[in-house]
Amino acid sequence: METAQTTAQTTIDPAEVAKFEAMAAEWWDPKGKFKPLHMLNPCRLDYICAQIATEFARDLSDDTPFSGLRLLDIGCGGGLLSEPMARLGATVVGADAAAGNIPVAQVHADQSGLTIDYRHTTAEALAEAGEQFDVVLNMEVVEHVADPQAYLTACQQLLKPGGLMVCSTLNRTAKSYGMAIFGAEVVMRWLPRGTHEWSKFITPDELFALIETAGLTPVDRKGFVFNPLGWSWSLSARDLSVNYVTASTKPAQERPESA
């Protein structure tokens, strides 16, 4: 639709999409270009599962605790989060602006015996089409879009009243430049140079302000902290200096307009 296309042009950065499309075939190689995400994924999943379980009163000891929940994984890449969410019972839509990611994700899901609705589309197009979800996973995407406020507003529109958005990104600090750009791209060569732009990183306070302006209520934020000695990640309530994650909810009822 024309409106969705116009909106998408203001938020999708073609250069950012091209970077990830070029790496699409390597999504499921734990030693490839997405090694950092494979290492981080268990920590991300722990946080996501805890937030969904708390918000929707689900018992994580059940085989499929997220049964009955419709979940959107925006910027799904190769499906590193979509697949475990489907295994936990959610009805999953995986969306990505990079067309090359979708067949990679779909083939892997088919090989894994999972039913996931993968689409080459954007948050804005989905919102324009009236799609609604209980949960929106918005992980490591907001730092790659051209207009974070418009993008987060589209994510808010995609949530049902009472819905939950989990959003992670990178803090704009000297430490994040040293670790995420110089360390990961130059020293370790985990990612191609230019994958990240430090100027696009967003501080936690800035992200909370964007989320609130979009119409959501922030309820939590934690840091993802890398331990180079143990080569492992953990959650921290205090250290948000590099990678961090937030949870926010959509009011169950719209506030009445002031008289």
- Which residue positions form the known binding site for S-adenosyl-L-methionine? 44, 75, 96, 139
Query: How distant, in Å, are the alpha carbons of 86, 90, 134, 216 from that of 68?
Result: 11, 6, 9, 23
Compute the distance between CA of residue 134 and CA of residue 108 in angstroms, rounded to an integer: 25
Of 214, 184, 233, the residue nearest 40 (C-alpha): 233
Cβ atoms of 137 and 72 within 8 Å: the answer is yes
DSSP 241: S
Buried b (16+ CB within 10 A) or exposed e, 51-64: bbbebbebeeeeee
Cβ atoms of 214 and 153 within 8 Å: the answer is yes
Binding-site residues from annotation: 44, 75, 96, 139
Strand order in the sheet with 70-74: 117-120, 91-96, 70-74, 133-139, 159-170, 243-249, 217-227, 232-236
Of 37, 32, 30, 67, the residue nearest 168 (C-alpha): 37
Backbone angles phi, psi at 194, to 5 degrees: 95, 0
